[in-house]
Structure 1
Amino acid sequence: MNIAVVAFVSLVYATSFIDGTYGSGMAMPTATDKNLLKKEYCEPGAAYKLFGYDCSDMGLVDVPQNLRSSVKILDLSINRIRELKKTSFKRYSDIKLLYLFDNKIKNIEEGTFAHLTNLEAIDLSSNTLVTISIELFELPRLRNLYYSDNPLSQDRIEADLKHLEKPIAAPLQKLFMAECSLTSILDFGILPDLVHLNISFNVLNEITPQQFSPFCNLRTVTIQNSTKLNPCTCKSLQAYFDRRLIFLNHTFDCQTPHEEEVYCSESVNATVDSDEYNKCLVRVEEKIREEKSREMWLRISIGLGVFFAIFIFVLYYFHRRNAQRTKQLEKQSTKLRHIHQTQNGNVEVLLTK
């Protein structure tokens, strides 16, 4: 197996990352797999018409700046990068998939991701980050955010989230925050596009059904953890997920004393959605209308473009036809003048005779 093939296989895997299949069972490439062929330089490759570089497991301490600026997939996983600067990806503004998992990243300078307006998925898992870069939520195309296995500080991240403009611009569909030392679900505001949420292995001291209300399109929740929830909270959550048709990947570990049935008088009322749910639904309808409006204007633009193209073609056709007719008439007129001049010359000769 040559190095180019290895790079291609890695990039093929990368495209599954954008669809979220990695989060639903696909195993991440391990350091052992990568060590089969040690790379001395970033290997170029392509997957599904996306050009990229495999720079994983190279002992890098910084983002290389000698790659083609048109790169769409950049795999910098399993390296020793400690800090990301605002110049790190400045020349790679076309990146769609960005792997940064399993590094030693502790600090992300403000402005690092601001110009990555084409970014659709990023993996910052398994680093030493204590907060989330707020500018990620401002990216207009970011759909998948992987942030698991980072020692986040609940107080620090909640303080940073207060500066987050809501509703966020990023159309997040998948959010992975497993094993992040969270004690409660973070307040991102309404996330109308969120479909999958992974908050496993966090010691969630405070969890209620209403915390899921801002995610009105939620379909799957992975919440496997060591938290011992009281029976009534468990019942409320299970009833809430059942009502919302949200699939729960793992069951809760509910504390039921002596395995007895516990009566919870407020379990039904506790499953009622908060006002954020209705706000989320309104935003969904607005996005649908915006999308329909864009489609309508696109069709109108295409229709007008086709009309003007046909109109210009018709004008050109008649112009060419008129030009040809004019040319033919000029030829006929020249011929008639020639005949007329010849006949007049003959008459003069006869009169002279």
Structure 2
Amino acid sequence: MFRSAINPLLLLVLTTHTYAKEMTEIEMLASRPTRCTYEYAFEMYGAHCGGLRLSKIPSLKGGIEILDFSDNKLQEIHADTLSSYSSIKFLYLSENTIYSIHKDAFAYLTNLQTLDLSKNVILQLTDSIFQLPSLRKLYLNGNPLLHLSLGGMEINKPIKAPLELLDLSDCKIKILPDFGILPQMVLYNISHNPLVKLDATSFSSMCKLTKVDLTESIEHIKLCDLKVSIMWFQERKVSFQLADYTQLNSKEFQNCPESNKPDNLNASYHICQNAYTEIQSVTSYRRTWLTIAGGLFGFLVGFVLLLYIMHRHNVAQTKKTTKAINTAPPSVEDRNATAILLNNAA
């Protein structure tokens, strides 16, 4: 009797709980934005269009510096797709279905600092991306077909983009592309790629490199063929990340014959250092001139302001003196002179 009496109550409670949960999820879906929203982040004006399942970038407000268009259905980036948003500094296009990028797709984005094209299906990558004058961070990871483009792409050198971070992880790359001298590169992620060789010259032209991620990328390379690159990393104090370091501590690796270091390793490294020094000199030169120009401009503004204050003071004094003269009573001499004139006139 007791069991049969409580079961309907328990069923009602469970049904109510399930219904409430479903309603909550429906309400959450209904509360999601259905159009791009605008907000400020890090003192920059940005447009957030992520997760809207859009197939093209809609008409947005001008002056945006951040555009998040991740998790959508964008397939192609044409020459005019982003031409109206030249002020963009951070562009996030990850998790779309992008397969084609026009060579002038980013030509107007001269202020672009970060470009995220990760997790797409890029078939053709234009060299113009590497020529963007302000680009520091480039994410291309998770493009499984990218290696088809990189393998045949001729990259104009020297690369103009001041790249500091490049992520090529999980792109099915077998041979690393030749980017030439990258004097400002700090982080290089080439993990989860089926590399068939690891050429030290791919890293010697990155003289400021501090970390390379090789996780699950060197399993297809003979252990002794890694020695030159590993020794180079150790010599230049470059941190390299592996899934397993035990092989490098094995007797097999220690007994690998000493390979002569290619002469072009040091040559490309010194060329990179010279390029970095030149960049720093230009930056310092510009900073110095900007400081001087700023000081001169401030001095001129202050000088003009001082002249204006002095002018206003002189005008005020002149008006005060004129008013005092006009309102002052005539002196005895003036009254006598006036009387004489009146008598002569009579």
Q: TM-score, normalised by structure 1?
A: 0.79
Question: Following TM superposition, by how much is the alpha carbon of 1:316 offset from its aligned partner in structure 2, in angstroms?
Answer: 2.7
State the Cα deviation string for residues 6-53 of structure 1 (Å, max 9, x = none). Answer: xxxxxxxxxxxxxxxxxxxxxxxxxxxx97964322233332222223
2:268 corresponds to 1:282: no
Given the alignment, which residue of 298, 307, 315 partners 1:315?
307
**Matches of residues 326-337 of structure 1 in structure 2 within 5 Å?**
326-327=318-319, 330=322
Identity %: 31
Give, in whole Å, the separation in 2 of the partners of 1:253 and 1:230. Answer: 15
Q: In structure 2, do the counterparts of structure 1 residues 327 and 69 end up closer, same or farther at CA, with 3 Å as the change threshold?
A: closer
Q: In structure 2, do the counterparts of structure 1 residues 284 and 35 end up closer, same or farther at CA, with 3 Å as the change threshold?
A: farther
**Matches of residues 89-238 of structure 1 in structure 2 within 5 Å?**
89-152=82-145, 154=147, 156-162=149-155, 164=156, 166-226=157-217, 227-238=219-230
Give, in whole Å, the separation in 2 of the partners of 1:111 and 1:341. Answer: 87
State the Cα deviation string for residues 245-293 of structure 1 (Å, max 9, x = none). Answer: 111121567879x964553443363597242211111111111111111
Answer yes or no: is the 8 Å Cα contact 2:123–2:148 preserved in 1: no
* Aligned match of 1:50: 44
Give, in whole Å, the separation in 1 of the partners of 2:245 and 2:263. Answer: 19
Q: Secondary structure at the match of 2:46?
A: strand
Q: Which runs of 5+ in 2 are unaligned?
A: 1-27
Question: Following TM superposition, by how much is the alpha carbon of 1:327 offset from its aligned partner in structure 2, in angstroms?
Answer: 4.2
Q: Which region of structure 1 is more displaced relative to structure 2, 270-279 or 71-80?
A: 270-279
Q: Which region of structure 1 is more displaced relative to structure 2, 52-61 or 311-320?
A: 311-320
Give, in whole Å, the separation in 1 of the partners of 2:146 and 2:301. Answer: 59
Give, in whole Å, the separation in 1 of the partners of 2:345 and 2:49. Answer: 102
Given the alignment, which residue of 59, 67, 76 partners 2:69?
76
Q: In structure 2, do the counterparts of structure 1 residues 336 and 346 end up closer, same or farther at CA, with 3 Å as the change threshold?
A: farther
Question: Following TM superposition, by how much is the alpha carbon of 1:295 offset from its aligned partner in structure 2, in angstroms?
Answer: 1.2
2:33 corresponds to 1:39: yes
Question: Following TM superposition, by how much is the alpha carbon of 1:176 offset from its aligned partner in structure 2, in angstroms?
Answer: 0.3
* Aligned match of 2:80: 87
Give, in whole Å, the separation in 1 of the partners of 2:246 and 2:177. Answer: 22
Answer yes or no: is the 8 Å Cα contact 1:210–1:274 preserved in 2: no
Give, in whole Å, the separation in 1 of the partners of 2:175 and 2:30. Answer: 41
Q: Secondary structure at the match of 1:148?
A: coil
Q: Secondary structure at the match of 1:70?
A: coil
Q: In structure 2, do the counterparts of structure 1 residues 342 and 274 end up closer, same or farther at CA, with 3 Å as the change threshold?
A: same
Q: Which runs of 5+ in 1 are unaligned?
A: 1-33
Give, in whole Å, the separation in 2 of the partners of 1:37 and 1:348. Answer: 96
Q: In structure 2, do the counterparts of structure 1 residues 156 and 124 end up closer, same or farther at CA, with 3 Å as the change threshold?
A: closer
Q: Secondary structure at the match of 2:83?
A: coil
Give, in whole Å, the separation in 1 of the partners of 2:286 and 2:271. Answer: 22
Give, in whole Å, the separation in 2 of the partners of 1:139 and 1:108. Answer: 15
Give, in whole Å, the separation in 1 of the partners of 2:231 and 2:277. Answer: 26
2:279 corresponds to 1:249: no
Question: Following TM superposition, by how much is the alpha carbon of 1:89 offset from its aligned partner in structure 2, in angstroms?
Answer: 1.2
Q: Secondary structure at the match of 1:278?
A: helix
Give, in whole Å, the separation in 2 of the partners of 1:295 and 1:161. Answer: 34
Q: Secondary structure at the match of 2:153?
A: helix
* Aligned match of 1:300: 292
State the Cα deviation string for residues 282-334 of structure 1 (Å, max 9, x = none). Answer: 11111111111111101111121122123223333443344345445555766
**Matches of residues 11-30 of structure 1 in structure 2 within 5 Å?**
none
Give, in whole Å, the separation in 2 of the partners of 1:289 and 1:72. Answer: 28
Question: Following TM superposition, by how much is the alpha carbon of 1:148 offset from its aligned partner in structure 2, in angstroms?
Answer: 0.8
Give, in whole Å, the separation in 2 of the partners of 1:109 and 1:284. Answer: 31
Give, in whole Å, the separation in 2 of the partners of 1:280 and 1:242. Answer: 18
Q: TM-score, normalised by structure 2?
A: 0.80
Q: In structure 2, do the counterparts of structure 1 residues 315 and 255 end up closer, same or farther at CA, with 3 Å as the change threshold?
A: closer
